[in-house]
Structure 1
Amino acid sequence: MNALLGQAWKCPRSAVLVTRRWRVKSTGTKPQPKKFAGRGSNSAPKSFDELQPDEQLRRRLHDRERRTATPEVPALRQKYDEFYDLTKNRLKHLLWEMGKWDPQHREYKAFGIHTLESYIQEISLFKDALRKSFHLASALGMTARTDNPLFWNLRAAFIKGDSTGLTKELRYALETFLMRKKFSKFATELHLDIADLRFPHEWFPATRQLQRTIHLHVGPTNSGKTYNALKALENAKSGIYAGPLRLLAHEIYTRFKAKGKACALITGEEQRIPDDADMFFRSCTVEMTPLNWKVDVAVIDEIQMIADESRGWAWTQAVLGCQAKELHLCGEERVVDLIQELAARLGDKCIVHRYQRLNPLVPMEEAIGPNFTNLQKGDAVISFSRVNLHSLKAGIEEATGRKCAIVYGSLPPETRAAQAALFNDPNNEYDFLVASDAIGMGLNLEIKRVVFESAFKFDGMTHRQLSIPEVKQIGGRAGRYRTANDAVRHGKDQDSASTPALSKWGAPGFVTAMDDQDLEVIRKNLQKDAKPIAAAGVLPPSHVIERFGTLFSPDVPLAFILSRLREMARLSSSFTMCSFSEHLEIADVLKGFDLSIYDRSVLLTAPVALRDKGQKDILKAFAWSIANLSGGHLLEIPEIDLEALDVDTAQLSSAKRKDHLVRLEGLHKAITLYLWLSYRYRGVFTSQKLAFHVKSLVEDKITGCLEATDYAADKQQRRRETLRHQAKLHSKKEEQLLGEVVEELPVAEGGPGLWVEEGHEEPLYREENEVNAALPVRVRRVSLNESTKSRVSQE
C-alpha cells in the first residue's frame, strides 16, 4: 500500500495506468503516442465505453455528481454511495454534538485548532479524505483493512453498532485526523515503539522462567472436560480456578468448601479469604486471576472466549501469565490450533484431551408452540430480555400450576445460585426454568430439554440471529452430566462419574423452540461447525496506557489517546485487538475530571453498564470522589438511589413492580461498582461493610419482585414475530447499504490507519418503545466548582 487516505489521491498514478505501463515495459515495446481527436474528428469516442481504461477511471473518480445507478456503474457502487450519504449525515450530527468552534473550546484547543479558519479548513480536509475513501471502495473495490482503513473501520462499526457505532467511529477518526500533523517524526516513532504489542508474553517475565505443561480439554458440552480438569485441581496442593461468571466462581468456591478444602473467592467486587488457613485454593473470575502466585494447577474455563471481542484479553492474560506447573484449559475444539501455536511460542508443552458427549443431543422435529402445557418437567426456556423472562415465568406458572425458577446474567450471584438450586432439586415443585444465555457460559443446571423462545436476539446494539457457537453452547446444556450442586449435596461421599441427569430422565438432551421458524434456524446451527479461532484477543496493559498517555498534553482527551494507541498498535498474527468501544465510552464520561492517567486506566476496566439509565451519573460521582479524595462514603453519594429500598413492593401494581425492579437492578449495579472501587481506593470508598449490607437488602428486594408479573400469549407471539422481522430488516439494511460483505470481519477492530503515512448481558428491554422506567437525573453536588460542574453535569 503506497498511499493512504491522508495523502492526496493522484489519479494519473491509477492502478489501471500503472498496469499498462508495466505491461509495456515487460514487452519491450514503446507505446504509440495518442492522436488528438479534434471536435470534428471521426475517431473521437462516441460513448463512455469507448474511452481508454485510465480515462474511464479518471472520470469515475472525479464524477461527484453521479449518485444514481446507471448501466455503467455497478450496483455495489450505488450501495456504497448510499452508505456515504448516511456517513455524511452522521458526520453532520457529530459536528453538531461537538459544538461550534470557540476560542475557549477545550477539545478544539487540545487538537491545535486556534482559529475559525483553521477549523473550517481541517473539517473540509477530513470530508475530502472521507470522500476519497468511499471512492476507493466504490470505483476500485478497495475495501480491505490494509488498503482502505477508514472505510473498513466505518463499515465494521456500522455492521456492529448500526448508526450509533458509525457515529462513534467517525468521532475517533476525526480526532485522529486533526492530530495527524501535530507529531514530529521522532514522536511518531516513539508512539510506534510503545504501541508495539507483538510479544505480549514478554509482559510476564516470571512466568517465562517456568516450564509449564498445558492440558487442553476440548469437546462439546456435557462431555466431562471441565469435570476432569477440576479433578486435577482437587488433587493438587495449591491451585486456581478462573471462570467467565461470578456465579461459576461461586459454584467452585462452594464445591471446594463442601469437600472440606480451604478456598478463597475473588471477584471484582467481592473477596472472601479464609482466616484459618495459610495455603488455600482460589476461585475467581478470569479478570481477577492472580498472576503473581505460583501454584501446582490452574484451571481456566471456557477458553474459547479468548477470542471474545470485549473480554478475550482476560483469557489471553491468564494463559500467558498464570504461574502454574499444570495449566488446564477447558473449551471448544475450535481453539486447539491457536493454543498449540501459543504453547509453541511460549516454549510450553501442550497435551490435548478430546472428549465426546456422554449422552446425545437431539434437535426435536416440532416446536412446542405457545401453549405452555406442552412443557415437561426439567425444561429450560431461553430468552434474551429480562422483562420477557419475568413474563414467561408468570405464564408458565399460570398454565402449569407448577413453580418456575429464573436465572439471568444481571441477577445477583446469590439470587441466581438460589434459583438454580431450586430448579436442580427434584424434591420440590420447581419443575421449569426460564433463563438467559447466561446458562451457555458454563452454568451447571440439570436440564432435560432446552426450549429457545426465539432464535434471534437484541445484543444491545442490533437485532441479529443467534450464532453457531451460541446455539451449541446454550442448547448443549440439555441433559447435563454432573453439576456443582451435586458435589455440594454429596460432598466427598459420591464423587463417581454417575450421571444424575441421565438416570433421572433416562433420555438424551433435547433442543427445540417455541415457533417452527425459530426451530429451523436452531436445527441448522446445530448441524454446522463453527470456524476455528485464529487469534487471541489482547488489550494494552495499564502500564502501556500510562506510558503512552504521558506523551500527550493533559488537555488531550483520553478517548483520543486510546484511539491513537489502537491506531498505531502492532500485533502478531496470533493476536488481535479487542474492542475499545467500552473503554472509549468510559473515557468520554471521565472528561472534565482532574484524574491521573493511572486513575483513568483503572476506571477503564470498571464494571459499568453505561447503556443503563443513571449509570453514567454514578460513574461521574465516583470519579469526582477519586479526583477529590473525599466524598466516598456511601451515604454521601446522592446518585446512588438508596431511596429505592424504602418502596413497599407489595403496594405496587404489576406494571409498577416491573419498573421498580429496573430501579433495584440499577441500584445493585451501583453498589457492585462501589464495592469494586472499595478494593482499589480503600481510603476514598470507606463504606465497604455498609455496601455489602445494602447489597444483601437489594438482593432480597429483587427476589421479592420476581414473583410479580403477568403474561399475555398473543403479546409474546407478536414479540417473537417482531424480533424476527427486525433482524431481517437489519440484515436487509446492511445489504442495501453495503452489499454482500464477502470479507469476513475479525472479532476485534483496528484503527483508521496512519493518516500521514504512505501506503459480553442481555438487554433490559428488547425494543426501544419498551423503555418506560427511566430514572431521573440526580442533582449534582454543590461542592463542585463552576467550571468542573458545567462539564460534569452534561450528558
Structure 2
Amino acid sequence: MLRVPNLLRSQCCHETRRLLRSAPPVLFRTRKSFAAARDTPRKSSFGSARQDPPKAKERVFVPLDITASDVPQQFAEHAEKWLSSAYQHVSYRLLRFGIPQRCITPLLQAYVKEMKAGTVFSHLSYGPEHLARIARDVSPGEVIPWDEHYTKILFEWANHPEGQKRLERVVPIDVVLTMQTIYRAADLSNLAWDFRMTRLARPRKFIMHVGPTNSGKTHNALRALAAAKRGIYAGPLRLLAYEIWDRLNKGQIVPLGVDPEPELEPDLQSSIDLGEAAIGGSNVVVTKVGNPKYARACNMITGEEHKIVEDDAPLLSCTIEMTPFMNTWDVAVIDEIQLIADRQRGGAWTNAVLGVNASEVHLCGEESAIPLIESLVRDLGDTLEINRYQRLTPLVVAERSLEGDLKRIEKGDCAVAFSRTDIFGLKTRIEEETKMRCALAYGRLPPEIRSEQAALFNDPNSGYDVLVGSDAIGMGLNLKIKRIVFEAVRKYDGGRTRLLSTSQIKQIAGRAGRFGLHGDDSQGGVVTTLREEDLDVVRKALAAPYETIQYARVAMSLTSFLKVLYALPYGASQQTVADVFHFVSKLHPRFELQSTKDLEACFHFVDAFSDCLPAELRLQTQNSPCPWRDDHAVQGAVAVMKTYRDKMQVPIEEALQRSNLLSKLNEAYLLMESKETSVPPRQIVAVLARLETVHKVIVMYLWWSYRAKVAFPDQEKAFQLRQLTEIAMDWCLEVLHQVRIKAQNPIATARKEVLERRQWPTMDSENAAALAATQGSS
C-alpha cells in the first residue's frame, strides 16, 4: 500500500484513505521480464524467426568533396561498392518491406546496372537543390547516408514509368507494385498540404524576433498576443506555457498599443526573455501586480496537464506538440524557433510553422534560423519581417580559467556539468571547498523542482549562493547568474562524447548577467571554464557567428504512419515502419526526418504490446513522454501497459506496484518520517534517483489520462502523487545540505525546512488523532 507521511496527509486525507483500502497487499509480483521478452525472436510475416539486423560497417566510402553536379557520376562509380558492402543489410531491409527473398538479388543487380549506366538519374531529373542536398549528406564518407540515398533513389525510380519498365524485366510486376505502394505511402514531398485549411486561408505574415539570450526578443510578441482577439502561445516547456497562461489571466502582460503606466512595477521573476522591458519605467511589459483591464481569458494545454478557464477562451497557451491546427487565430507566438532543427522534437516546430492558421505569426529565437525560415516562408507564399535584438549587458570571456581550483567559485556563479554523477560530485566538492550552498538544476529533475531551486538561488537571503546544473539552465528558468563556469565542454549524446556545438555554448553562456537582475549591469556577465584547456573552445564559440540551421525536422504524422503501416506486410514491426520513413520517404531538401536513434527500446516496447495496441495507438505510444534510455522508467511503462492489457484499466497505484516503484515511494516516505539522526549522503542520492523515475512514470500516466480517460481513470490521484513525490525530492536535496553542515538531526530539519518553504499546512492534534484512528480501522 502507499504510505503517505503523517506530516503530509492533511492535504489529501479523503483520497488517501480510499487509496489505502484499495491498494493490493502485495507490493510486487514477479513476472516474465521485459528484457527477456524483448530478446525472444518474433515470427515475421514470412513465418521464420525474425533475426537481429546485420550491423553496417562504420565507414565504407572515403570522404569526398562532392558538388551537386558530381552526384550522378559519383553514385554510378560507387554503386557496386555500395551493393557489395551493404548487400546483407539492404536485403534484410527489403525483405521486411515485403520484397520476396528470391527477387532481391536480381532487383538490386538490375538497379546497380542502370545506375552505372547513368539512366537512373536521367530518368528522375533531380534539380540542383536536391542534388546539392545529396552531395552534402554523402561527402563525409559515412555509410548510412550513402545507403539511405541509394535506397531512396531505388524506390523513387521504381515508381517512375521508365524504372518500372526495366524492373519488370527481372522481377514480377507484383514486386514493383509493392515498391510503388510503399513509396507513395511514405512520400512526404508535399508536407505543407497536410495542413489544407491553412493553405486555403489568407497568406500569413511572419514576424521573426531574433537575438541572443537576454536580448528581450520575446516581449513584443507577447504584447501582440495579449492584444489579439484570438491568439495562441506555443513554447518548448510546460512551465513556460504555465507562466504565459497565468500572466494573461491575471492581466500581468501589457497589451500592444497600450502605453504602460509609469508607476507599474516590473516582475523580475519572469522566465520570459524580456531584456530592457524588465527594467521598468515606460517599457514595463510584465508587471508584478495584474491589472484587471488587461486580464484575458486563456486556457492551457500541455501533454500532461490541462487548465480550462472557459470552454472557448480567446487565448491559448500550450507546449509546441499540443498546437491545434483546426483553429483560426489572429496572432500566434512560436517560441525558441531554432528548435525546429532539434533531432527529437523539431518536427513539432516544423508543423507549427507550416500549419498554424494565424494572420500574424511571431517566431522568437536565435538568428541561426533566419535562412531556413526565409526559404520556408517564401515557398509557402507568406511574407516575412525580421526584427533583430541585441544583448543589453556585455558578455565577456574571462582571461583565465579557474585552473581546476574550485575555491575560486564565487557567490552568483553557475557551474555547468553534463551528467548526473558529475553534477552531484561538483556540488559536493564546491560546498566542501567554499562552504557555500549549491542549488541544483538538471534535466532529470521535474520542471517544478528546477524552478524552485532557481528561485532559491535568486533569493539573496536563502543561503543558496551557487547554482550547479546541466544545459537545462539554458531555457525556461529565471536566473540571476553573474558568471558561468563550464566544468566541461563535451557531452555524451547517447552514442559518444561530443564537443558542445557553438549554439549550445552560446545558449548556456548567455544566461550570465541577465539585464536588470544585478545591481551594476554595466559589468555584464562573465564566462569561464574550470580547466584552462577548455577556455579557448568557449572563447571561439562565443566569437563565432551562429551556425546556420540547415534542415527543419519532420515527425511522422498519424496519417502517414498508418499509410506506411498498411502498405507493409501484416505484423510489420515499429522499427520496420521507421526504416521506411528513413530509407524510402522523399522529402524536400530543406527537411530531415526526426532521429529515431534513441528509440530502439521504444520500438521493442510497441512490438511487445502490439496485441493490445490498435494501429492508431502505436505512434501515440511512441510519442509518449517516456525517457526510453532510462531502463527503470521503461520498466514502469511496461508495468502500465501490462496492466492495461490484463484489465483494460490502469489504477495508478497498481501501475506503480507492478513496476516495483510503489515500494520505492514508500521507502522514501518512511525515510522522510524517520527519527534517525544520521543518514549517508549516498543513500539519499540513490533515493532521489528512484524518485526521479517514479515522477516520470506518474507524468506518463497523466499524459495517457488525457488521451484514454476510461483506461486511465485516476488522474486526480496521479496529480496528488506527483505533488507528494516532488516534496520528497525536495526533501532529498535539502537533507544533503543538512548532512554536509553536520546538522544535529538532518532528516527532521530538512523535513521542517521543506514544508515551511512550500507553505504546506501541518495538522493540529485533533485532526491527527482522527486520521490515526481512521488509518487503524482501515
After TM superposition, is the score higher than 0.5?
yes
- 1:603 matched residue in structure 2: 621
In the alignment, the residues of structure 1 paired with residue 88 and residue 431 of structure 2 have an alpha-carbon distance, to the nearest angstrom, of 49
| Residues 1:110 and 2:45 are matched in the alignment | yes
Following superposition of structure 1 onto structure 2, how do residues 370-769 of structure 1 map, counting pairs within 5 Å?
Answer: 370-481=404-515, 500-593=516-609, 594=611, 595-627=613-645, 630-637=648-655, 638-639=658-659, 641-647=661-667, 648-649=670-671, 651=676, 652-709=679-736
In the alignment, the residues of structure 1 paired with residue 545 and residue 513 of structure 2 have an alpha-carbon distance, to the nearest angstrom, of 21
For residues 369-399 of structure 1, the C-alpha deviation after alignment (integer angstroms, 9 at most, x for no partner) is 4444423332211111223323333443444
Q: What letter corresponds to residue 346 of structure 1 in structure 2?
A: L
For residues 706-761 of structure 1, the C-alpha deviation after alignment (integer angstroms, 9 at most, x for no partner) is 134489x9xxxxxxxxxxxxxxxxxxxxxxxxxxxxxxxxxxxxxxxxxxxxxxxx
Tell me which of 177, 180, 184 is aligned to 1:186: 177
For residues 605-653 of structure 1, the C-alpha deviation after alignment (integer angstroms, 9 at most, x for no partner) is 0111122132222222333344456241112221161222222335542
In the alignment, the residues of structure 2 paired with residue 242 and residue 684 of structure 1 have an alpha-carbon distance, to the nearest angstrom, of 29
Tell me which of 305, 311, 328 is aligned to 1:270: 305
| Residues 1:240 and 2:258 are matched in the alignment | no
Q: What letter corresponds to residue 619 of structure 1 in structure 2?
A: A
In the alignment, the residues of structure 1 paired with residue 562 and residue 570 of structure 2 have an alpha-carbon distance, to the nearest angstrom, of 12
Q: 2:441·2:468 contact (CA, 8 Å) conserved in 1?
A: yes
SS of 1:215 mapped into structure 2: strand
Q: CA 1:207–1:135 in 2, change beyond 3 Å: closer, same or farther?
A: closer
Q: CA 1:610–1:701 in 2, change beyond 3 Å: closer, same or farther?
A: same
Q: 1:424·1:445 contact (CA, 8 Å) conserved in 2?
A: yes
SS of 1:223 mapped into structure 2: coil
Structure 1 residue 663: Cα displacement? 0.7
Of 679-688 and 140-149, more deviation after overlay is shown by 140-149
Of 421-430 and 681-690, more deviation after overlay is shown by 421-430
Q: What letter corresponds to residue 417 of structure 2 in structure 1?
A: S
Structure 1 residue 418: Cα displacement? 1.4
SS of 1:581 mapped into structure 2: coil
In the alignment, the residues of structure 2 paired with residue 150 and residue 605 of structure 1 have an alpha-carbon distance, to the nearest angstrom, of 38
Q: CA 1:408–1:703 in 2, change beyond 3 Å: closer, same or farther?
A: same
Q: What letter corresponds to residue 701 of structure 1 in structure 2?
A: A
Q: 1:654·1:710 contact (CA, 8 Å) conserved in 2?
A: no
In the alignment, the residues of structure 1 paired with residue 462 and residue 296 of structure 2 have an alpha-carbon distance, to the nearest angstrom, of 30
Structure 1 residue 177: Cα displacement? 4.8
Following superposition of structure 1 onto structure 2, how do residues 205-284 of structure 1 map, counting pairs within 5 Å?
Answer: 205-208=196-199, 209-258=201-250, 259=252, 260-274=295-309, 278-284=312-318
Q: What letter corresponds to residue 273 of structure 1 in structure 2?
A: I
Q: Which runs of 5 or more structure 1 residues have no equivalent in the other structure?
A: 1-95, 156-165, 482-499, 714-795
In the alignment, the residues of structure 1 paired with residue 206 and residue 638 of structure 2 have an alpha-carbon distance, to the nearest angstrom, of 43
Q: CA 1:381–1:519 in 2, change beyond 3 Å: closer, same or farther?
A: same
Q: CA 1:427–1:265 in 2, change beyond 3 Å: closer, same or farther?
A: farther
TM-score (norm 2): 0.67
Structure 1 residue 97: Cα displacement? 12
In the alignment, the residues of structure 1 paired with residue 306 and residue 38 of structure 2 have an alpha-carbon distance, to the nearest angstrom, of 42
SS of 2:448 mapped into structure 1: helix
Q: 1:172·1:563 contact (CA, 8 Å) conserved in 2?
A: no
Following superposition of structure 1 onto structure 2, how do residues 276-425 of structure 1 map, counting pairs within 5 Å?
Answer: 278-425=312-459
Identical residues among aligned pairs (%): 38
Q: CA 1:264–1:696 in 2, change beyond 3 Å: closer, same or farther?
A: same
SS of 2:702 mapped into structure 1: helix
Q: What letter corresponds to residue 369 of structure 2 in structure 1?
A: V
For residues 218-259 of structure 1, the C-alpha deviation after alignment (integer angstroms, 9 at most, x for no partner) is 122221112222222223233222222223223333433442
Q: CA 1:177–1:422 in 2, change beyond 3 Å: closer, same or farther?
A: same
Structure 1 residue 457: Cα displacement? 1.8
Structure 1 residue 305: Cα displacement? 1.1
Structure 1 residue 567: Cα displacement? 1.4
| Residues 1:202 and 2:193 are matched in the alignment | yes
For residues 175-225 of structure 1, the C-alpha deviation after alignment (integer angstroms, 9 at most, x for no partner) is 445546336211211111111101111011111213211001112222111
Of 446-455 and 616-625, more deviation after overlay is shown by 616-625
Structure 1 residue 552: Cα displacement? 3.0
SS of 2:494 mapped into structure 1: coil
The root-mean-square deviation of aligned C-alpha atoms, in Å, is: 3.7
In the alignment, the residues of structure 1 paired with residue 482 and residue 65 of structure 2 have an alpha-carbon distance, to the nearest angstrom, of 54
Q: CA 1:353–1:170 in 2, change beyond 3 Å: closer, same or farther?
A: farther
Highest relative contact order (Cα 8 Å, sep 6+), 1 or 2?
1
Q: CA 1:342–1:683 in 2, change beyond 3 Å: closer, same or farther?
A: same
In the alignment, the residues of structure 1 paired with residue 388 and residue 547 of structure 2 have an alpha-carbon distance, to the nearest angstrom, of 18
For residues 317-350 of structure 1, the C-alpha deviation after alignment (integer angstroms, 9 at most, x for no partner) is 1111112221111111121111111111111111
Structure 1 residue 502: Cα displacement? 4.9
For residues 276-327 of structure 1, the C-alpha deviation after alignment (integer angstroms, 9 at most, x for no partner) is x742532222111222222222111111111112111010011111122211
Structure 1 residue 596: Cα displacement? 1.6
Structure 1 residue 428: Cα displacement? 3.6
In the alignment, the residues of structure 2 paired with residue 662 and residue 478 of structure 1 have an alpha-carbon distance, to the nearest angstrom, of 29
Q: 1:408·1:437 contact (CA, 8 Å) conserved in 2?
A: yes
Q: 2:606·2:622 contact (CA, 8 Å) conserved in 1?
A: no
For residues 763-789 of structure 1, the C-alpha deviation after alignment (integer angstroms, 9 at most, x for no partner) is xxxxxxxxxxxxxxxxxxxxxxxxxxx
Q: What letter corresponds to residue 488 of structure 2 in structure 1?
A: S
For residues 388-444 of structure 1, the C-alpha deviation after alignment (integer angstroms, 9 at most, x for no partner) is 323333443444444332212221222122112222234443322112101223533
Q: Which runs of 5 or more structure 2 residues have no equivalent in the other structure?
A: 1-35, 101-173, 253-294, 741-778
Q: What letter corresponds to residue 214 of structure 2 in structure 1?
A: N
In the alignment, the residues of structure 1 paired with residue 357 and residue 630 of structure 2 have an alpha-carbon distance, to the nearest angstrom, of 38
Q: CA 1:152–1:199 in 2, change beyond 3 Å: closer, same or farther?
A: farther
Q: What letter corresponds to residue 705 of structure 1 in structure 2?
A: C
- 1:45 matched residue in structure 2: none
- 1:83 matched residue in structure 2: none
Q: CA 1:134–1:278 in 2, change beyond 3 Å: closer, same or farther?
A: closer
Q: What letter corresponds to residue 467 of structure 1 in structure 2?
A: S
Structure 1 residue 698: Cα displacement? 0.7
For residues 96-137 of structure 1, the C-alpha deviation after alignment (integer angstroms, 9 at most, x for no partner) is 99989xxxx643x424659xxxx99x99xx89xx79x97766
- 2:13 matched residue in structure 1: none
SS of 2:484 mapped into structure 1: strand
Q: 1:448·1:501 contact (CA, 8 Å) conserved in 2?
A: no
- 2:92 matched residue in structure 1: 174
Q: 2:599·2:628 contact (CA, 8 Å) conserved in 1?
A: no
In the alignment, the residues of structure 1 paired with residue 228 and residue 424 of structure 2 have an alpha-carbon distance, to the nearest angstrom, of 42
For residues 464-518 of structure 1, the C-alpha deviation after alignment (integer angstroms, 9 at most, x for no partner) is 211111101100111113xxxxxxxxxxxxxxxxxx2254554111111111112
